[in-house]
Amino acid sequence: MGRMKANDNGIKIIIWVVAMFLLLQFLDYDWNIFNFHLFGGSRLNNDIHRNIPYDSSEFRARQIDPPLNYEPNAHIAIIPFGTPPPVHIPDVDARIIVITFNRSHSLRRLLESLNKVDYLDDKVVIEIWIDRNKDNEFDEKSYVTAKNFNFDKGLKTINIQKKHAGIYGQWIWTWRPTKDTKEICVILEDDLSVSTFFYRYLKKVHAQYDHRPEVNGYALQAASLKHGGGKGPLQAPDENIVFLYPVLGSWGFSPSRDNWIGFQNWFREAHKNQTFLPLVPGILPTLWYKKELKAGTHENIWTMWQIYYAYSKNERTLYPNFPNKTGMTINWRENGLHFSKAVEVAGPLVESWDERIENLPDEPVHLDVNGTIVKY
Ligand SMILES: *[C@@H]1O[C@H](CO)[C@@H](O)[C@H](O)[C@H]1NC(C)=O
Ligand SMILES: *[C@@H]1O[C@H](CO)[C@@H](O)[C@H](O)[C@H]1NC(C)=O
Ligand SMILES: *[C@@H]1O[C@H](CO)[C@@H](O)[C@H](O)[C@H]1NC(C)=O
Ligand SMILES: *[C@@H]1O[C@H](CO)[C@@H](O)[C@H](O)[C@H]1NC(C)=O
């Protein structure tokens, strides 16, 4: 008799589990693997936990979605327990990687600026990568912001890191190009806003300079200091629309494919060596790195590894040199890893198309770490 009872309970539990599973199929929830909708009918969904084929007419004929709503509400407040694996959408012209952790208002501002960009009708995907903290928790507000963002001009995926990736993991391992990919990738931290022209600019510079082995990528920022410690901002003479420089700019960086693969392969090994330090003589980042090393926080400066690699291979990064120091990105310099004080300053963004970008020089000028023109 007691045995019968245990079996009954077992059956009840199975029925209950099956019922719950079926119920979840009708909710906006990550266990909704069949994607039925009880509420909202055929709500447009560009949230790629499923893979929407890129060329579908649905994508091209996309309507403008209802007004954005970023606040958590009952409908979207359900955060998945287990997070789905990162989704990779192949065969795109542009892959915009947004890395974020715990600054949902910054994330929202960046995503809104990305929505206004002229993508020239190219196939674009925005990949939002949300990191976890060291206890492997992620920020729910960031997830909700990402989920509620409607990208009008392409697709979006939300990728929650499986465990704490940190600034290294977020920067170095989110773009995994194959040797023959033709896509343009750009990596953006969440405290940036972009110019509506940034993609047009990137297409031009990639087309013009990707074949040059010393060009490791394209910085989008206007503002930079001189990494050698020289006074004043980094700037080329006005007649140069672009210039090459030994240190990458990380306020929006679009890597050149082959050099990025080379950097990734080198970093994978070099980072294992506990006694190796990526120190480059004569530049400020080395001093910052050493200081952080003492404090045990050097893992915040991922760029040191890229700077070292570029130095060892004699690589350069291409910077824009627009009039009035306008940039393809601006950095809001908020609290976070890089700035200890939240100062809301924004330089001007490029607001008109400079015709000189149509006619880029074959040989851009090279500047050294103090902004002096040098022979390469
Ligand atoms: C995000 O930041 C807030 C405020 O500083 C903090 O309370 C929260 O724990 C952080 N979330 C994560 C996932 O670290
Ligand atoms: C750059 O300028 C700083 C400060 O004037 C100087 O100490 C340094 O030697 C210069 N570096 C180069 C490569 O010219
Ligand atoms: C690790 O780095 C140290 C210091 O640069 C170097 O001397 C050593 O040869 C490296 N070890 C390996 C296995 O590469
Ligand atoms: C640069 O700024 C000056 C003064 O604000 C303005 O008159 C000029 O038109 C600007 N140049 C460009 C190319 O935007």
Banded model confidence at residue 235, pLDDT cuts 50, 70, 90: very high
Top mean-pLDDT range of 48-62, 75-89, 117-131 = 117-131
Query: In a mutational test of the pocket of ligand 2, which residue from 370, 373, 374 has the highest number of ligand atoms less than 8 Å from its CB?
Result: 370
pLDDT 10s digits, 269-284: 999 999 999 999 999 9
Whose alpha carbon is nearest atom 11 of ligand 2?
228
List the one residue out of 324, 345, 352 whose CA is nearest residue 191: 345
Query: Does 15 fall in a domain?
Result: no
Query: Does 10 fall in a domain?
Result: no
Query: Does 40 fall in a domain?
Result: no
How far, in Å, is the centroid of ligand 2 from the Cα of 283? 8
Pocket flag, ligand 3, residue 339 (CB < 6 Å):
no
Mean pLDDT of 132-154: 93
Q: What is the pTM of this model?
A: 0.80
Query: Does 46 fall in a domain?
Result: no
Pocket flag, ligand 1, residue 137 (CB < 6 Å):
yes
Token readout for 33 is 């693997």
Per-residue pLDDT at 159: 93
pLDDT 10s digits, 97-115: 999 999 999 999 999 999 9
Q: How many domains does the chain have?
A: 1
- Whole-number Å distance between alpha carbons of 145 and 290: 36
Predicted confidence (pLDDT) at residue 65 exceeds the cutoff of 80: no
Average pLDDT over all residues of the chain? 82
Query: Does 32 fall in a domain?
Result: no
Query: Does 45 fall in a domain?
Result: no
Q: Which of 35-44, 115-124, 299-308 has the lowest mean pLDDT?
A: 35-44
Residue 107: CATH number of its domain:
3.90.550.10
Per-residue pLDDT at 87: 84
Query: In a mutational test of the pocket of ligand 1, which residue from 103, 139, 334 has the highest number of ligand atoms less than 8 Å from its CB?
Result: 139
Predicted confidence (pLDDT) at residue 64 exceeds the cutoff of 80: no
Predicted confidence (pLDDT) at residue 44 exceeds the cutoff of 80: no
Query: Does 69 fall in a domain?
Result: yes
Query: Does 284 fall in a domain?
Result: yes
Banded model confidence at residue 348, pLDDT cuts 50, 70, 90: confident
Predicted confidence (pLDDT) at residue 325 exceeds the cutoff of 60: yes
Whose alpha carbon is nearest atom 14 of ligand 3?
273
Per-residue pLDDT at 240: 97
Per-residue pLDDT at 3: 53
- Whole-number Å distance between alpha carbons of 366 and 314: 12
Pocket flag, ligand 1, residue 332 (CB < 6 Å):
no
Q: Which residue has the higher pLDDT, 78 or 152?
A: 152
- Whole-number Å distance between alpha carbons of 116 and 111: 9
Whose alpha carbon is nearest atom 11 of ligand 3?
273
Structural domain including 120 reads: 57-374
How far, in Å, is the centroid of ligand 4 from the Cα of 240? 16
Judged by its nearest atom, the ligand closest to the C-alpha of residue 336 is 1
Judged by its nearest atom, the ligand closest to the C-alpha of residue 278 is 3
Whose alpha carbon is nearest atom 2 of ligand 4?
324
Cα angle, residue 207 at apex, residues 206 and 212 outer, rounded to 5°? 70
Banded model confidence at residue 287, pLDDT cuts 50, 70, 90: very high
How far, in Å, is the centroid of ligand 2 from the Cα of 343? 28
Whose alpha carbon is nearest atom 1 of ligand 1?
102
